[in-house]
Structure 1
């Protein structure tokens, strides 16, 4: 869907804002998405931090990130959140039969992980940490090194999901990605078409941003690589033509993010942050959303890197061994320290209920 996400003709005007808040904070996560398309007010309300906090508490839902650390070539992960209810145990991956590295996460509470053994003993797992359920899936072709993986849950009941794996030869003859897709419906990997890339274009570390069934990665040449996992098609999207107003600061870090269901690019320097949102996806039209002073991130937090948006006004930022929740509307930062150094692919968005799912195939 495109447009502003509103439906003014069917707007329920007979309910006051307080009643709407009480109702929507009790709606399941799966039912919340269609509610956001009722009208602009509902859409704005359901992306606010205050709403997210109450929704997690009232629906017994976990919302946050799995943070991945690396120590002596071994990976460990932990769940972090600023909306975690004390009545819900924090999920971990200790229930899996061996130590794993997270490869991809989904919006429905599933993770795709791989064990930390050598390639010939490689095993892939799909799991739901909140219910400690897991299932081993067949291995893809491990001849080539995986550069990116992504996971898309099509439905929760019955459970249907797809995993895409992009790999490249060690010695590249052509600038292309080898694409494989795992489909839980037939419980097998299949080889999709190779994807040609423009010269010098590469995919930096980080999970893809999922918008309307399409994964997006910001490339090294200021293009956005978009892959539709259902139709197995891809395209390159250009960033906005207008240059960001960051006072000619050459140290600009860029990330992609999901901003209220729309693709967003965020530019960050040591002093300012500027956010642009794609308002018309098919026409690649961008609009500047806001520019923020980053005064609260001075001193020891000045070297932090933004990883993702948690809510519309709260960002997740990291440094070598710290995780920072930064509210750029209130200009306030909350710092959590981690035990080891953070891995290159360090932050995986995670949202899940506590309902067991059917991990078996039919």
Structure 2
């Protein structure tokens, strides 16, 4: 390529800033340099202002048997009105494409709904297959953006009496927005004795990952719809040294965060060959006692301390500190969205 044809940094910024969220995500996948640039905090702040994109943290708490939902915007983002969501429906999962899954209780059974909060679109899903089991984990994976296509993965467990017969056994159902149906996978998931799922799950590169309490990671591949297990950076021998562990998303990759009792958060990233590489140590004194909720961009972590949400830069700069109006405990979900209506589904494809 001639030197005259090489795009300058400013031109690349200008090109990316003129794209829609769908195009931006596609360009991230097609070019390593664009991928890194599109996760840069300076670019993201400019992009949000220019394209009316909302991003931040959904904080959910429970009070008087009602689920209170509050949106905490990131830098240069507007807020998001969540008052239209029913107080009886907890959020279970969210995606970077601006949609999330809620649990909706009907008189006879638990139902699920899909929602795009930025456009206030809300659609009830058909009844799932396994009725009486307790929901353990839900994840939503966007498999296509034009038109919107997604899958929802639900892990459930039998009630107390049935667990006596099938201890540590879980069932998996998958909802496909294209066929508008649920399907139960043939093989149940059986975990070793005294090993459990740790929430939340993380979706990266078309797969869903969930951390186990023994330090291993389970992966659900959206295409094959099969579960596999691999090791995290914290082995069984060192798990007692790192009492705090969770999965996070780093750019479009799976990340693993761990912290010693009085130490700093370490961030590891899963490479293509499924080896782990240590990427960051969040060595700020005021974040030692905080809970890491996620990684917002290349240079910003999202921390939680009692009723305080902190968007904290890795290498200095101003932090954004927001007080949550509802009392703890909290469940949090990162969300990014435009304000364009989408087709959530509700109809089967021919054939």
> Post-superposition shift, 1:98?
6.0
Superposed CA deviations along residues 186-242 of structure 1, whole A, max 9, x for unmatched, are 222121131222332211232x11111110111100001111133210111102378
> Post-superposition shift, 1:331?
7.2
Equivalent residue number for residue 262 of structure 1: 253
Please give the alpha-carbon distance, in whole angstroms, between the structure 2 residues aligned to 1:144 and 1:276: 34
Correspondent of 1:108 among 92, 97, 115: 97
Normalized against structure 2, the TM-score is what? 0.87
Correspondent of 1:198 among 192, 200, 214: 192
Equivalent residue number for residue 301 of structure 2: 315
Q: Are 2:115 and 1:127 equivalent residues in the alignment? A: yes
Superposed CA deviations along residues 302-329 of structure 1, whole A, max 9, x for unmatched, are 5321011111121111133221212122
Q: Are 2:281 and 1:291 equivalent residues in the alignment? A: yes
> Post-superposition shift, 1:84?
4.3
Please give the alpha-carbon distance, in whole angstroms, between the structure 2 residues aligned to 1:249 and 1:331: 34
Aligned to 2:122, the other structure's residue is in SS state: strand
The 5 A counterparts of 1:1-362 are 14-86=6-78, 90-96=79-85, 99-115=88-104, 117=105, 120-140=108-128, 141-171=130-160, 172=163, 173-193=166-186, 194-206=188-200, 208-240=201-233, 250=241, 252-269=243-260, 270-280=262-272, 283-297=273-287, 302-330=288-316, 333-343=319-329, 346-362=331-347
**Gap change, CA 1:341 and 1:233, over 3 Å in 2:** same
Equivalent residue number for residue 3 of structure 1: none
Please give the alpha-carbon distance, in whole angstroms, between the structure 2 residues aligned to 1:289 and 1:357: 36
**Gap change, CA 1:331 and 1:355, over 3 Å in 2:** closer
Aligned to 1:182, the other structure's residue is in SS state: strand
Please give the alpha-carbon distance, in whole angstroms, between the structure 1 residues aligned to 2:235 and 2:167: 32
> Post-superposition shift, 1:244?
12
Please give the alpha-carbon distance, in whole angstroms, between the structure 1 residues aligned to 2:100 and 2:282: 33
Normalized against structure 1, the TM-score is what? 0.84
Superposed CA deviations along residues 44-63 of structure 1, whole A, max 9, x for unmatched, are 21111111111111122112
Please give the alpha-carbon distance, in whole angstroms, between the structure 1 residues aligned to 2:20 and 2:196: 38
**Gap change, CA 1:72 and 1:251, over 3 Å in 2:** farther
Which structure 2 segments of 5+ residues have no match? none
Query: CA RMSD of the aligned region, Å?
Result: 2.8
Aligned to 1:267, the other structure's residue is in SS state: strand
**Gap change, CA 1:38 and 1:204, over 3 Å in 2:** closer
> Post-superposition shift, 1:343?
4.2
Which structure 1 segments of 5+ residues have no match? 1-8
> Post-superposition shift, 1:39?
4.3
**Gap change, CA 1:238 and 1:121, over 3 Å in 2:** closer
> Post-superposition shift, 1:79?
1.5
1:296, 1:333 within 8 Å by CA — same for their partners in 2? no
Report the number of matched residues.
340
Superposed CA deviations along residues 45-88 of structure 1, whole A, max 9, x for unmatched, are 111111111111112211222111221332111222223445xx
